[in-house]
Structure 1
Amino acid sequence: MTILQQLIIAIVQGITEFLPISSSGHLILIPYLTDFPDQGPLIDVAVHIGSLLAIVLYFRKDVAGLARGGFSAVGIGKDPVQRRLFWWIVIGTIPAVALGLFLKLGGYLESFRFTDFVAVNLIVYGILLGVADRFGKEVKDYEDMTLRDAIIVGLAQALALFPGTSRSGATMTAARALGYKRVEAARFSFLLAIPAVAGAGLLAALDLADASAQMQWDAVVTGVFTFLAALATMMFLMNFLKRASMMVFVIYRVLLGLALLWFF
């Protein structure tokens, strides 16, 4: 792989993983728009690790709280609020894990990777994001998460297994529809991404064969680029949502979806 290919893959993954515009949808487009060879499973693992490290670093205080909640859940320490939030993260992850295993074991994942499907999902889920953000109340914080809300947002996350949906977009849409503030919706979405991104990286790792030294170096470089792009994206989005709506992402999704239908 060239440095240019590594940089493009890392930037696309790092930015689109956390903006509500679909990372899988954009990554599918790279082969159509360039003559790059397939990056292979090792690079898939690298971009997921880079994204995961960026989340953990940016939300390190929340991650530490969830860790305390996990210890409380097994009887080590007492932190009832964090214990509750820890279990909501776990429960919210189950739908995506169940659907992901079903699609992978059934060999269905690749059947959805075509541009028309991506384009329609970009448009439909973009419109839903716009409606939820426009009419959703802003009254709830991350700490107000309930079991019902965790299940609903978790079901929305499972939809992101279909390219063009966007994991962050689907979870933010659900959270905004439930009345969570924009920043808090993004906060819960990113924390819910930790087991989801880790699981996706693990699934990719299981497909790995012995990698050459050059492939390993390519993966390290791509992972570092992804980490930097993802960290910058989260910093931008969390500040952007304090003063603006998600309409710019809605417009981008709809225009991109229409362009894909037109050109492909």
Structure 2
Amino acid sequence: MDTLQIALLAFVQGLTEFLPISSSGHLILTPLLFGYELQDLSFDIAVHLGTLLAVLTYFRRDLLAIGVGMAGSLAGGMVGNRLRRRALSPAAAADARLGWMVVLATLPILVLGLPLKTLLDGLRQDDQLIALVVASTTIGFGLLLWYADVRGRHRLDLHAINWAAALIIGCFQAIAIIPGTSRSGITITAGLFLGLTRQAASRFSFLLSIPTISLAGLLAGRELLESAVPVDWHALWLGALLSFVVAYLSIHLFLRFIERVSMLPFVLYRLLLGGLILFLLLM
């Protein structure tokens, strides 16, 4: 991989991972549009680890509070919503509950992820088919995001998520294995349908990305070790660094402006991108 290709793909991953426009779809489409060969699995892992580091860094204070709260609940402070003898403070109890909701929302991907991934792995071998899938999911789930944004009540905050809502969001996330769906897009869509504010739906989606990307990275890393593919360490380090910087800025700007601009710009982008892909396929 040359430096321009590395920088382009890292920028695409960092920008799209946390926006509701599908990073996996863009990582597949970018080399097709620019005439590159599809990058190795090792590079995809590297840029995903870069975005994982970005979300860990950005939410470091939240994660520390959640970790402390969860540790306190395990030590006997809280079971479910009930406080008992060594009661946590209300803030610590809320942080602990949020942490357990993230854990609960991760469970569906553990059950459904591997079967869906196995089913969809063959798509990467057919450029025409994968492009058609990405175009269809980009448009279809973009329209679903718009509908959820328009119909959602936008009243509930992050700590209003209960076990049922967490499982629903987690089941929606499992669908994101299909290229073009967008993990952040589909989880934000679910949150909006459930009445969360845009800010709350987005923040929960970002927190949920931490165990999800970590698990996906471990699975892909195991496949990489088993395949014994030569590794270009320069490309991996540079890609991870660039994707980290871009993803950090992307998270900051998205959370800052999402309540003002709504989801409409992302929906319009998805419709234009999906239409462009279909146009190119028909040419």
Instruction: Tell me whether the two structures share a fold, i.e. TM-score over 0.5.
Output: yes
Where do residues 34-53 of structure 1 align in structure 2 (5 Å cutoff)?
34-53=34-53
Look up the equivalent residue of 2:137 and give its one-letter code.
N
In the TM superposition, what is the alpha-carbon distance from 1:31 to its structure 2 partner?
2.7
Is 1:122 matched up with 2:135?
no
Where do residues 137-148 of structure 1 align in structure 2 (5 Å cutoff)?
137-148=153-164
Look up the equivalent residue of 1:241 and give its one-letter code.
I
In the TM superposition, what is the alpha-carbon distance from 1:20 to its structure 2 partner?
0.3
Corresponding residue for residue 174 of structure 1: 190
Is 1:204 matched up with 2:242?
no
User: Which string of whole-angstrom CA distances, capped at 9 and with x for unpartnered residues, describes residues 40-67 of structure 1?
Assistant: 1221221111011100111112111221
Stretch deviating more after TM superposition (93-102 or 164-173): 93-102
Is 1:87 matched up with 2:103?
no
3-state SS of paired residue (2:224): coil
Where do residues 4-15 of structure 1 align in structure 2 (5 Å cutoff)?
4-15=4-15
Inter-partner Cα distance in structure 2 for 1:63 and 1:242? 23
Corresponding residue for residue 222 of structure 1: 239
Corresponding residue for residue 58 of structure 1: 58
3-state SS of paired residue (2:260): coil
Corresponding residue for residue 24 of structure 2: 24
In the TM superposition, what is the alpha-carbon distance from 1:39 to its structure 2 partner?
2.5
> Could you tell me whether the CA contact under 8 Å between 2:28 and 2:38 is conserved in 1?
no
Corresponding residue for residue 97 of structure 1: 110
Inter-partner Cα distance in structure 2 for 1:103 and 1:129? 22
Inter-partner Cα distance in structure 1 for 2:73 and 2:276? 48
Inter-partner Cα distance in structure 2 for 1:195 and 1:69? 18
Inter-partner Cα distance in structure 2 for 1:100 and 1:152? 15
Detail structure 1 runs of 4+ shifted over 3 Å in the superposition.
Answer: 76-79, 209-212
TM-align CA RMSD: 1.7
Inter-partner Cα distance in structure 2 for 1:255 and 1:92? 31
Stretch deviating more after TM superposition (225-234 or 81-90): 81-90
2:119 pairs with 86, 108, 115, which one? Answer: 108
Alignment length, in residue pairs?
261
> Could you tell me whether the CA contact under 8 Å between 2:146 and 2:267 is conserved in 1?
yes
Inter-partner Cα distance in structure 2 for 1:5 and 1:102? 32
Structure whose CA Rg is larger:
2
In the TM superposition, what is the alpha-carbon distance from 1:35 to its structure 2 partner?
2.9
Look up the equivalent residue of 2:19 and give its one-letter code.
L
| TM-score normalised to structure 2 length | 0.87
> Could you tell me whether the CA contact under 8 Å between 1:112 and 1:163 is conserved in 2?
no
> Could you tell me whether the CA contact under 8 Å between 2:70 and 2:97 is conserved in 1?
no
Unaligned runs of 5+ in 2: 78-87, 125-129
| TM-score normalised to structure 1 length | 0.93
Corresponding residue for residue 263 of structure 2: 246
> Could you tell me whether the CA contact under 8 Å between 1:89 and 1:192 is conserved in 2?
yes
In the TM superposition, what is the alpha-carbon distance from 1:262 to its structure 2 partner?
1.5
In the TM superposition, what is the alpha-carbon distance from 1:30 to its structure 2 partner?
2.1
> Could you tell me whether the CA contact under 8 Å between 2:17 and 2:184 is conserved in 1?
yes
Inter-partner Cα distance in structure 2 for 1:245 and 1:170? 15
In the TM superposition, what is the alpha-carbon distance from 1:87 to its structure 2 partner?
1.3
Is 1:135 matched up with 2:146?
no
Unaligned runs of 5+ in 1: none
3-state SS of paired residue (1:179): coil
In the TM superposition, what is the alpha-carbon distance from 1:76 to its structure 2 partner?
7.2
User: Which string of whole-angstrom CA distances, capped at 9 and with x for unpartnered residues, describes residues 118-168 of structure 1?
Assistant: 111111110110011112111111111111110111111111010111001
